[in-house]
Amino acid sequence: MKKIPWWFTSIGEQEKEQVIEAFDNRRFSLGKVTEELEKQFAAMLGVPYAVATTSGTAALTMALMSIGIEPGDEVIIPDLGWIATANAAAILGAKVVLVDCLPDSPLIDPKAVEKKITKKTKAIIPVHLNGRACQIEELKKFNIPIIEDACKAMVSKHKGKCLGTFGQLGCYSLGMVSLISIGYGGMVATSDQKLYEKLILIRNQGVESYENEQYLAKSFNFKISDISAAIGLGQLSRLDQKIEHINKIYRTYKVGIKDLSFIEMIPVDLDNGEKSLLIEVRSKNKKKVMDYLVDNGVEPLNFHIPLHKAPYLNNEGVFPNATSYADESFILPCGPSQPLENIEAVVEILKKCQIN
């Protein structure tokens, strides 16, 4: 039986050509190709600055470093998402303060955030889970720096603006599960020139120039190579095509499974510009439905467990909404190159499912 994988990356000829060009230029390290990718990425988002790095996690870490997060500072993060967001803060010695999501959406609850704000709160990181816009206007009212985790929300829009461009800084993943996949990679975007200058220093050991070498800031090596950036340029050139395809996938599922009582899509607002990178669904009978899919040659993917399950984060309290989302949700086959026939096949398989 042919298996339908949960994810299908889109890789084209452009990427190969771009890599060969970077190769021929003999520029493997951070160079002109990376600069070009940053320029095009920033233009796509509509911001002046984008800084490329090795992963979405590195992007979040750099963003936190750029606003001066120190050991003991508190960073508010949603309990539902991916542990990378919390690890980026924890690795800097910050205290990760988890908050629940809303009851009717898997996104951070601004009221729950407000209750956790203290004098030590130095940043809030809303996670725009799978392209859904958090209540960013509500969060901005707290006047605390916002680093948007748009790692899985690239080019997803809210009120006509890209997610990741509302706060001080926005972070993106260019990992395998992304609309721009370079294997491992990430991007930090900002409109603030001072933060941009700090990010550039942080990426390169706090050194501005090798000619007049000075160690200007506690930093790290967060650089990517031009070979990776070359893949990114190829990926970026086919972005519209990929967006169109993932929109088609979402709409095919939406129509196909709307009458099934045992499963529902966790909505993404495509009509208002959000993009659904993944197809997230919810079922009270999650395990049975996932087992049924596997028995029928379909590979679903489980939802991430809530972050409060990480013992080293030491977060007490209860997170009922995040817990129920995590317990009941999983991901159906999707991805920018997933053939539509596969999606139609999954829909037909689900329609034959006898679980109630």
Q: Which is nearer to ligand PLP, 55 or 323 (CB)?
A: 55
Minimum separation from the CB atom of position 60 to ligand PLP (A): 6
Minimum separation from the CB atom of position 32 to ligand PLP (A): 23
Minimum separation from the CB atom of position 102 to ligand PLP (A): 16
Q: Which is nearer to ligand PLP, 50 or 257 (CB)?
A: 50
Q: How many residues does the chain have?
A: 356
Residue with tokens 């936190």: 64
Q: Which is nearer to ligand PLP, 182 or 257 (CB)?
A: 182
Q: Which is nearer to ligand PLP, 52 or 257 (CB)?
A: 52
The DSSP result for 173-219, as a single string, is E-SSSSSS--SS-EEEEES-HHHHHHHHHHHBTT-S-STT----SS-
Q: Which is nearer to ligand PLP, 63 or 112 (CB)?
A: 63
Residue 30 φ/ψ, nearest 5 degrees:
-55, 120
Minimum separation from the CB atom of position 322 to ligand PLP (A): 13
How far apart, in whole angstroms, are the C-alpha atoms of residue 4 and residue 339? 10
For the chain, the C-alpha Rg in angstroms (whole number) is 21
Q: Which is nearer to ligand PLP, 27 or 157 (CB)?
A: 157
Point out which residues pair with 349 in neighbouring strands: none
Minimum separation from the CB atom of position 56 to ligand PLP (A): 2
Judged by the rule CB under 6 A, the positions of this chain that interact with ligand PLP are 55-57, 81-82, 84-85, 127, 149, 151-152, 173, 175, 186
Rounded to the nearest 5 degrees, what angle is found at the Cα of 156, between the Cα atoms of 155 and 157? 110
Residue ranges of alpha helices (H) inside 46-99 are: 56-66, 83-90
Minimum separation from the CB atom of position 1 to ligand PLP (A): 29
- Nearest residue to ligand PLP, by Cβ distance, number only: 56
Please give the C-alpha separations between residue 104 and each of 108, 109, 320, 325, 334, in angstroms, as whole numbers. Answer: 11, 10, 12, 10, 23
